[in-house]
Amino acid sequence: MESATQKISEVENELSRSSTSAMDAYDPAYDPLVDATPGKGRDYSPSYWIGTAGTPPEDDGPLPGDTDADVVIVGSGFTGLTAAIFLAENYGIKATVLEANRTSWGCSTRNGGQAQCTSGRLKRSQWIERWGLDTALRMHQECVDGMETFKSLIKDIDCDPQPGGHLYIAHRAKVMPGLVKEAQLLRKTFNYDAQIFDAKTVKEQYVNDVEAAGALHEPEGIGIHAGKLAFGYLKKARALGVKVHPASPVTGWETRKGIHYLQTPHGTVKAQSVGIATGGYTSQSLHPQLKNRLLPILSNSMVTRPLTPSEIEACNFRTTQILTDTRVLRHYYRLLPDNRLQIGSRSAITGFDAPKQKYEDKLYADMVRKFPALQGISIDYSWWGWVDVSHDMMPRIFQPNESETLYYALGYGGNGVMYSAQAGKRLAQWIAGDTKDLNLPIFQSRLPYPNVRELVESEHFAPFRRLGQRFLYRWYHLKDEVL
C-alpha cells in the first residue's frame, strides 16, 4: 500500500509551490487545546472532499480594514454559513463572516459526509433518561425538522446526495438485543420507522461487512459530498449579500457598552451582535465564554481508489446509504458515487501525534477486517480533523450571558453534517431576537465544563481531560472488542 502520508506530503509540496503570500501551508498538527489560534490563511486539509469539489467559489478576501457590522459570524463552515443564510432570508440581516483560514476550512471539509437524523452523541433512550419523555419527544421533532431544513437547503446544491437512510451495523452479536430494544422504542414511542435486520439480510441485501451481526435501519439519512456542500453554502450566502472574509482570524476581542470589537490582522470589526460557529477548531483563547467548554477529538478518514466491479461484488455493496457500526469508537463508511470506499473512525489524542503513520495503518486494518477483499487496495486520500464534543455529549445553541449579544452553536459530537443546518437556523433566530420556540434544553443552558459521570462538573477538571480521554479510549476498546 502506498502511504497516504506520502501523498499528503506531495500535496503539501504542491500547495507550497502554488501558494500566494496570503496563503500558508496546511498544518497537519494543529491542536485547538495547544495552539493559540488556528492560523491565518492556511490552506485546506488534503481531503477527498477538497480534492474532488472543483475550484472553490469566490469569497470577499481578507477583511480590508476597519468596518462596522450589524452581525458578525465567526467561522465559515456549515453552521456559520447557514446562520448567515437564514439571517438574510428570514430577517433581512446581512452578516459579515470572519474565517481564520480558507472558507469551510475546518470540520466542514474533513467529516464523513453523513447527514443523520440526530444531534449530539446520545440515543433517544438516553434523552428520556436525562430529560423525561416529553422533552425527548420534542427533541426528536427538532431532529426531524432539522432533516427537513437540511433537505430544503441542499435541494439546489449539487452535492452528490445519496439518500436511503442509515444502517447502524452491529459489530458483535452481543449488541443486537440493545438495537432491538432501541428500534422498538423508536417505532412505538417516537413514531419513527426503525427496522431490525438479521446478519443474513444485511450481508445479502445491503453490504457484506463480515463483522455484521445484524443492523438497525432508520429511514432518514443522506450521504453528501462535504466539499461541494460547503462551496454551495458559500455561493448561496454571498448571493444573499453576505460578506465572507477568509484569512481574517479574530486575534483580539473587546466588548464595551454592549458593542463588540473584533480585531483581525487587517482591521477591527465593530459589531452589534456576534455568533460563534467555530466547531472543533475553537481555540481556548477565542472568548472566555468558550474556554474549557469543549473537548476536541480527532477523527481519521480515508478514501480508496475506485473499486473494480469484482471488488464491489466481493464486498456485495448493494447500497450507497450511510453506514456506521456500533462500537463506542465507531466507524462510519459508505460507497461513494465514484465507487470509492470512504471510512473513518477515531484517531490520535493530540495534534502532535495526528500525522503518525500508525493511525492510518490502524484505520486501514479496520477497513480490511470489515472487507477482506480490499486487502492491498491503495488509498488515494487520507486526512484527519477535530470534532467538537461537548462534555455532556449534546450541542448547545445559546446566549450564555443575557446582558451580552454573544451567541454560539457548538458541540455536535460528530453529528453536525445535518444538524449544523438546523443549528444555523436556530443561531439566526437567537441573533434576530426570535426566541419564541427555543425552549429545549440545548437552547437553554451553556456548554458544560468537564464532569465526572455527570455528577460533578468543574472547570478544575479541564487540565486532566486528555489523561481521562486516554483511559476512556482503552476502556472503550475493551468494551468494543473484548468484554
Give tens-digit pLDDT for 219-260: 999 999 999 999 999 999 999 999 999 999 999 999 999 999
pLDDT tier for residue 88 given thresholds of 50, 70 and 90: very high
Has residue 18 got a pLDDT over 60? Answer: no
Q: Is 4 left (phi over 0), alpha (psi -120 to 50) or beta?
A: alpha
**For residue 14, what pLDDT is reported?**
40
**For residue 306, what pLDDT is reported?**
98
**For residue 5, what pLDDT is reported?**
46
| d(C-alpha 129, C-alpha 15), whole Å | 49
Domain-embedded: residue 425: yes
| d(C-alpha 81, C-alpha 88), whole Å | 11
Q: What is the pLDDT of residues 178-209, one digit of tens each?
A: 999 999 999 999 999 999 999 999 999 999 99
Domain-embedded: residue 338: no
Domain-embedded: residue 324: no
Whole-model pTM over 0.75: yes
CATH code at 66? 3.50.50.60
**For residue 3, what pLDDT is reported?**
52
| d(C-alpha 326, C-alpha 133), whole Å | 24
375: DSSP letter: T
Asked if residues 85 and 153 have their Cβ atoms less than 8 Å apart, the reply is yes
Has residue 4 got a pLDDT over 70? Answer: no
Domain-embedded: residue 170: no
Write the DSSP string, 180-229. HHHHHHHHHTT----EEEEHHHHHHHT---TT-SEEEEES-EEE--HHHH
**For residue 11, what pLDDT is reported?**
39
Q: What is the pLDDT of residues 102-153, one digit of tens each?
A: 999 999 999 999 999 999 999 999 999 999 999 999 999 999 999 999 999 9
The C-alpha cell at 201 is 439480510
Helix (H) / strand (E) element for 342: namely strand 341-346
Across the range 421-439, mean pLDDT stands at: 97
**For residue 454, what pLDDT is reported?**
80
Domain-embedded: residue 313: no
Domain-embedded: residue 38: yes
| d(C-alpha 131, C-alpha 378), whole Å | 47
Closest-CA residue to 81 (of 416, 457, 454): 416
Number of domains in the chain: 1
Q: What is the pLDDT of residues 252-284, one digit of tens each?
A: 999 999 999 999 999 999 999 999 999 999 999
Backbone phi, then psi, for 288, in 5-degree steps? -60, -30
Has residue 419 got a pLDDT over 50? Answer: yes
Has residue 1 got a pLDDT over 60? Answer: no
Has residue 171 got a pLDDT over 60? Answer: yes
* Cα separation values, 184 from 163, 178, 381, Å: 23, 10, 39
The C-alpha cell at 191 is 413514531
**For residue 17, what pLDDT is reported?**
32
Average pLDDT, the chain: 95
Domain-embedded: residue 115: yes
Domain-embedded: residue 25: yes
Write the DSSP string, 134-154. HHHHHHHHHHHHHHHHHHHHH
**For residue 16, what pLDDT is reported?**
34
**For residue 8, what pLDDT is reported?**
42
Instruction: State which residues form the domain around 407.
Output: 21-161+223-300+355-365+382-482
pLDDT tier for residue 455 given thresholds of 50, 70 and 90: confident
| d(C-alpha 110, C-alpha 218), whole Å | 25
Q: What is the pLDDT of residues 378-415, one digit of tens each?
A: 999 999 999 999 999 999 999 999 999 999 999 999 99
Higher per-residue confidence, 22 vs 134: 134
